[in-house]
Structure formats: structure tokens, C-alpha cells
């Protein structure tokens, strides 16, 4: 089954800095999605990038997708304390969404 794998898994940054997370996958995909999860809560969808897209922006978020390398990155610019959360990439294929291990991001005020 498809499995995204994020790198690094834990990131601690100062407020205002940028945070970058990477995700790799192994099989062909229809799209790749990034989600955020606050502790003990459900997941919130952040951004979806289709397999024929290379880059997408949404507010302070920037996602890239390199299908030749089977990898994606999520950049959060000008981080805020409220961005503290776990971030997961998920790849979709065969009507199944498989999640990576997640990145714990801590933004220090």
C-alpha cells in the first residue's frame, strides 16, 4: 500500500521562522494531501496537490510535488504559535488515502 513518509519528524522553531517538511512515497498517486492535527483532535485538511501539478499555494502554505522523485514538501512561512501541531502527508490511489508518519512542529513564541 502507499505510504507517505515525512522527514524530519520533529521540528522546533521560533515564531516568524519558516518550517519545511518533506514527504516521500512509493507508488503512483492521483493526488497528495497535507493535513494538520492538533493534539487529541481530528485532522484538518490544508492543501491538495494533484499529480499533474508541481506547486500550489494557500495563504502561508506552499506545497511542491515532484512525481519523478515521488516526493513533496510543505513550507509554512512566517510561522505562528498557533501553527504548533502535527502535520501529515497523505497519498491517494485506488480510492484509499494512506498517511505518513507525521511531523511534530512546535513554534516557540
Partner 1 sequence: GAVVSQHPSRVICKSGTSVKIECRSLDFQATTMFWYRQFPKQSLMLMATSNEGSKATYEQGVEKDKFLINHASLTLSTLTVTSAHPEDSSFYICSARDQVSYNSPLHFGNGTRLTVT
DSSP 58-78: ETTEEEEEETTTTEEEEEE-S
Q: How far apart, in whole angstroms, are the C-alpha atoms of residue 31 and residue 106?
A: 27
Decide if residue 24 touches partner 1 (CB under 8 A).
no
Decide if residue 68 touches partner 1 (CB under 8 A).
no
**Of the listed pieces 19-27, 40-48, 64-72, 75-83, which binds partner 1 according to CB under 8 A?**
40-48
**Prior bond of 8 cis (ω within 30°):** yes
Decide if residue 25 touches partner 1 (CB under 8 A).
no
Give whole-number Cα distances, 57 to 14, 22, 37, 101, in Å.
Answer: 22, 16, 20, 23
Which residues from 73-102 bind partner 1, rule CB under 8 A?
88, 92, 95-102
Decide if residue 26 touches partner 1 (CB under 8 A).
no
Where do contacts with partner 1 occur on this chain (CB under 8 A)? 1, 30-31, 33, 35, 40-45, 48, 50, 88, 92, 95-102, 104
Amino acid at each position: 500500500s502507499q505510504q507517505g513518509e515525512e522527514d524530519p519528524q520533529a521540528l522546533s522553531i521560533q515564531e516568524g521562522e519558516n518550517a519545511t517538511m518533506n514527504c516521500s512515497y512509493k507508488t503512483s498517486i492521483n493526488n497528495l494531501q497535507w493535513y494538520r492535527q492538533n493534539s487529541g483532535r481530528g485532522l484538518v485538511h490544508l492543501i491538495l496537490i494533484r499529480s499533474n501539478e508541481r506547486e500550489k499555494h494557500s495563504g502561508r502554505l506552499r506545497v511542491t510535488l515532484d512525481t519523478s522523485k515521488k516526493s513533496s514538501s510543505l513550507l509554512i512561512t512566517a510561522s505562528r504559535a498557533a501553527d504548533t501541531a502535527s502535520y501529515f502527508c497523505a497519498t491517494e490511489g485506488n480510492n484509499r488515502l494512506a498517511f505518513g508518519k507525521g511531523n511534530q512542529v512546535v513554534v516557540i513564541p
